[in-house]
Amino acid sequence: MKRMRTDFMILTADTSQMDDELKCTSLDTRDKFTWRFTPDGSYSASSAYRLQFVGSVQTAFVQLIWKPWATPRCRLFAWLFVQNRLMTADRLLARGWPNGYFCPLCMRSLETATHLFIECPFSRQVWAGVAIIATAPSLAPSSWGNHHRSIDWMAGLSEGLPSLEASRVRSWTLLVLWHLWLERNARVFIASLSPVRSLLARITDEAAAWDLAGAKISVARE
């Protein structure tokens, strides 16, 4: 009971102090709203839009995947590849799902996305052939550096090239990645094996179709 009386007295004192402060406050001034995300405190739609990206992480996806000329499925596929979201054997194995373990293209190593597209001997032959067909030396495995991430490997393929040529190389990269995946799936699901020469022919044919659609990737550009 004594504690309740003490709490009541404290509350009464606080209320009295608040009442005194309110009496000293002028109510003639209108409230003013300030938008703290602009220098002058005024709201703007552009500042609200920029606010959505505060804390966001910059990536090279736009330059390497979304901006180069390519079909939507090739872009989406490459996006999954650089994020290691393809259902290769290593990821199936981690989930305890049925898998063939070995890379379907070379049957030598555990199938990972990095091995399938970058390290596999079969894939490297395809890349070497495309480098000649596309007149793009940076696509040849002999020119590649050591990269721990697939996105860094993709960036390295067009690093230091003029803008137009870099875009052309990136388009070729998206195209080759897609066709290597198609060949991988053909071997896994219908037991259909194509030699390097046949796969290069299919890649060349689709590149020609892309050119007809406006890609302009077959001719080297300065």
Q: How confident is the model at residue 222 (pLDDT cuts 50, 70, 90)?
A: very low
| Each residue's pLDDT tens digit, 120-175 | 999 999 999 999 999 999 999 999 988 879 999 999 999 999 999 999 999 999 99
Q: How far apart are CA 111 and CA 130, in angstroms?
A: 22
DSSP class per residue in 3-53: HHHHHHHHHHHHHHHHHHHHHTS--SSPP----TTSTTS---HHHHHHHTT
Per-residue pLDDT, averaged over 179-187, amounts to 97
Is residue 4 over pLDDT 60? Answer: no
What is the pLDDT at residue 26? 64
What is the pLDDT at residue 198? 97
DSSP summary character for residue 116 = I
Q: How far apart are CA 190 and CA 132, in angstroms?
A: 30
Q: How far apart are CA 144 and CA 156, in angstroms?
A: 7
Q: How confident is the model at residue 77 (pLDDT cuts 50, 70, 90)?
A: very high
Please report, in angstroms and rounded to a whole number, the separation of the first and last CA atoms in the chain: 90
User: 141, exposed or middle or buried, with CB in 10 Å at 0-12, 13-18, 19+?
Assistant: middle
Q: How far apart are CA 170 and CA 168, in angstroms?
A: 5
pLDDT higher at 6 or 180: 180
Instruction: Compute the C-alpha angle 195/199/205, nearest 5°.
Output: 150
Per-residue pLDDT, averaged over 75-103, amounts to 95
